[in-house]
Structure 1
Amino acid sequence: MEKNQQIASDILEKVGGKNNITFATHCMTRLRLNLKDESLAHDEVVKKIKGVIGVAHSGGQYQIIIGQNVPKVYAALCEMTGLAQQAAVDENLDGPKEKLTLKKAGSNILNYLSGSMVALIPVMIGAAMFKTALVLLGPDMLNVVSEGSDAYVLLNMVYNAFYYFLPAFLGYSAAKKLNASVTMGIMMGTLLLVPDFVNLVGVQETINIYGVFPAPVASYAQSVVPVLLGVWLMTYPEKFFKKVIPDALSTIFVPTLTLVVMVPVLFCVCAPIGSYLGNIIGSALLSFGNVGGFLAVAVVAALWEFLVMTGMHSVLIMFAITAMLEIGSDSFVLVAGGIATWAAFGIALGAFFKQKNKESKAESLSYFISGFLGGVTEPALFGLGFRYKKPFIALAIGGFCGGLYAGLTHVTTYVMGATNFLGTLGFVAGGSANIMNGLIASCLSMIIAAVATYVLGGFEEETKTSAASEELPEFSEIIQI
């Protein structure tokens, strides 16, 4: 019997059989049943069913928390019972909204980020594997595929098809998370990537929106913050225009007027916000680097991946490039960034050893392979950090410890090269001591991040919490503090 059919069959048996079910529906993660006699369903027994995460009672329903495969389990259950399939429940109707606090607002933001990212993980892994194959088969390793060959171009093309257009994918998933128009969400992402705009990079510094609002010209490929912020803000004008425009005219005027409002907001506010914050944070870190010595390397290594994910690392990169051009080496930014990358490898490794679910372990192993061999850390960061939260703590701990060792031993890199394990070749020109200390710092970062991930855990707990929380409350609540 197929897995989801088995789950449905086991549930049916443990809740008193099909004659005990009067109505069944589902939402994003829960199977929702109306039972004639709830005493026939024993929570602890149902929880032990393989594939069931937990049980909840709300609104007169017996709710079985299953996860993202709940539609398939629901379909199988309906087939077994003869019940008519109902449309999925899109809103959380399980009780009054919680009082909004700073902690709750922060949790809502993280859940929004997580919900938008997690949906993209399968294709993210697939694209990353093509980059991993490119690195393994390319001229830097096995040299089976030469640079510029059709195979090289194809492997790189498949990788870029996702990672370059990440804002468009995020626009879709973020809009879906907020119950907004998914096509308009995609539009928010593609606006940042349209060639007419991208081709202006390096040609002019700003573009005037409507001839009034100046917007900085920059590359937003692979960016995360602009589109997530843009889609959230887009929900307000879209809802307003849907409300005031007659249905007969809504198809034309709702998207048109929403775009009229959002184009300047996206280009003048959402898109450059990462750069603006990056300039502030980057300048502060550089100033700290001038006086902080080895401690500055540790701090940047702890924060690096967070800065990269939000696009706030550009100032530090420019500083590193300048240092490389002037003196041919760097002992600060590039070293810290490399160490932080190894910490990302570490959280994937730690998750692999900690997780019990076979599918989750397989995902974490693929995150490690795509990072260690392919130099692609986004699957680990989005698939573990945003999904479970605690691996981000381990990431910072590992980065800090590895960076601290590198700072104390004055590790220096001489090449701006690979982001996978081959990045350690940048230490070679500094001699045997530099190579040894660079390798120790890198491995220390990875091992400590892995151990911290294993110790902090939270995978099963966070899965249950995520599933139990259901869809997000109205996201506009976040700013009503």
Structure 2
Amino acid sequence: MNKKTQQYQQVATGVLSGVGGSANIASVTHCMTRLRFNLKDESIPKDRDIQNIPGVIGVNRAGGQYQVIIGQTVNQVYDALIAAGELTRNAPVDENLDEQPKTKLTFKAVGNLVLNKLAGCLTPLIPMLIAASMFKMFAAILGPSMLNVIGTKTALYQLFVLVGDAGFYFFPIMLGYTAAKQFHTSNIIAMFLGAILIDPNLIKIVAAGKPFNVFGIAMPLVNYANTVIPVILSVWVMSYVERFFKRYTAAAISTIIVPTLTIMVMLPVALCILGPAGNFIGNYICEGILAFGKLGGLPTIIAVGVIGAFWEILVMTGMHLLMLTTMMMIFAQSGHENFVTLGAVAASMSVAGMCLGAALRIKDKDQRALAWGYLIASMVGGVTEPGLYGLAVRYKRPFIGMMVGGFCGGLYAGMTTITAYIMVPVANFLALTTYVGGQTANVVNGVLSGVIALTVAAIVTYMIGVESKPSQPFEQEFKLVEA
């Protein structure tokens, strides 16, 4: 038996004992980072004891479940837990399918629902955006704007550009798919609706500037390429339209009638009402954020610093999803962003700095090794959760170092008025490539803001020290949700 397997078994047996053994477990499954227990008696587990088990990052009680946060090795620990406790294996939890408790209809509840739906539509597209952004970065770095290794007319440069642009130009089609998953409607028809919005013929009509109508209804001339809100609104309404036709159409002809009538109804709705309205909302939000970033002066500088300081707290509470959604809309529609991204990148670097400072200060051999592991997970893997829960939440003091580092990095970014040109939705060192695309000074200052955040966080964390004993978990105070 290798050392890794033994470690997984030790974590599993420790957790199993902590929750009251197999007899107290009604069922157990896992998600991306957590073991999720349905316990017969939830008073048995002692949060402090379980959190102190080596390999456990934290605990949380939510939705009637007792959740033990393990991190990226949760699959292996789950396997060991099933074997040790002779438990029934359950399928991993799909976060998008978690049953949501019925809540009273309030402004807050509606706001949370909208936020969750937006996040559910956009989050699955992050891998595509990463790939597209990386190709745009290759073109920017190797092209005339920086290293000038390849010319704009070379096949390689044009290949990088077209691949990068494709990820954003065809965004409405991909978004149609993810929106359909959220609103429980036909994936293919939703993608078709997204394709209609960016059809070259429609774009030509818009570019011509001549009046056009849909079944006699005047159509506003709007280009929906790279947009976000129009297709989400359209797919949401489409889910009700399709459901209506499915209910009142005979099964023998539903394959032909339902999709045809659904699109027939959605054409004027999407092109004449929802599309223009969604485009207006998206532009209003994006232009507002960009305008705030362009104001300059002390308010904007401090605001970017505040985002850098509090970003990870927003991540832990799930409130960052609104800003992420806004960032994605801005990048998709304008191709750059100069406010939220600056603080977010600085915050990501500050997590790595906190891990570094803690690793240098902690005396306990095992805890120090974990801190170095958290640093690697953050800087290379782009996973900040181990550092957040394993150090900031666990010991509290490192939280101060992380926030000070994020504030200083964001402050410098705001002072130098840098701009993010490439959306790189990862939290590792590659996040600094978001500043590639403008002048060389923009890249230099962007990298310096990250270095400042990392260095200050490391120094402050090292100076204030790390408590010898973990503090009482305070995840429940924040009612944490997984990012």
Question: Tell me, which stretches of 5 or more residues in structure 1 are unaligned?
Answer: 318-336, 367-392, 404-418, 426-434, 455-459, 469-481
d(CA) in 2 for partners of 1:91, 1:201: 39
Aligned match of 2:15: 14
Q: How big is the shift at 1:348?
A: 0.9
Q: Within 5 Å, which residues of 2 pair with 1:9-158?
A: 10-11=11-12, 13-16=14-17, 21=25, 23-25=27-29, 31-35=35-39, 41-47=45-51, 50=55, 54-56=59-61, 62-64=66-68, 81=86, 83-86=88-91, 91-93=97-99, 95=101, 97-158=102-163
Q: Would the alpha carbon gap of residues 145 and 94 (structure 1) be closer, same or farther in structure 2, given more than 3 Å must change?
A: closer
How has the CA–CA distance of structure 1 residues 44 and 312 changed in structure 2, closer, same or farther, with 3 Å as cutoff? closer
Separation in 1, partners of 2:275, 2:4: 44
Q: Matches of residues 122-271 of structure 1 in structure 2 within 5 Å?
A: 122-209=127-214, 211-271=215-275
1:180-211 CA-to-partner distances (Å, cap 9, x unmatched) read: 333333233222222232333422444322x2
Change (3 A) 1:72 1:145: farther
Question: Structure 1 residues 423 and 10 mapped into 2: Cα distance closer, same or farther (>3 Å)?
Answer: same
Q: 1:58 to 1:105 in 2, by over 3 A?
A: closer
Q: What letter corresponds to residue 351 of structure 2 in structure 1?
A: K
Q: How does 1:342-361 map to 2 (within 5 A)?
A: 344-354=341-351, 358-361=376-379
Q: 1:262 to 1:251 in 2, by over 3 A?
A: same
3-state SS in 1 of match to 2:109: helix
Q: Which runs of 5+ in 2 are unaligned?
A: 305-322, 356-373, 385-406, 418-433, 458-474
CA distance in 2, matches of 1:313, 1:185: 19
- Amino acid of the residue matched to residue 83 of structure 1? T
> How far apart are residue 230 of structure 1 and its match?
1.9
Change (3 A) 1:134 1:106: same
Alignment length (residue pairs): 384
Instruction: Label 1:56 to 1:305 Cα distance change in 2 as closer, same or farther (>3 A).
Output: closer
Q: Distance in 1 between matches of 2:275 and 2:478?
A: 32
Structure 2 length normalisation: TM-score?
0.59
Q: 1:384 maps to what in 2?
A: none
- Report SS of the residue matched to 1:143: coil
Which residue does 2:438 correspond to in 1? 423
Structure 1 residue matching 2:151: 3-state secondary structure: coil
Counterparts of 1:463 and 1:11, CA distance in 2: 26
Rounded Cα–Cα distance in structure 2 between residues aligned with 1:42 and 1:248: 58
The whole-number CA distance in structure 1 between the counterparts of 2:222 and 2:298 is: 28
Question: Which letter does structure 2 place at the counterpart of 1:347?
Answer: A
Question: How far 1:155 moved relative to its partner?
Answer: 1.4
Using the aligned pairs only, state the percent identity.
Answer: 34
Q: Tell me the residue number matched to 1:385.
A: none
Q: Secondary structure of the equivalent of 1:154?
A: helix
Q: Distance in 1 between matches of 2:5 and 2:257?
A: 43
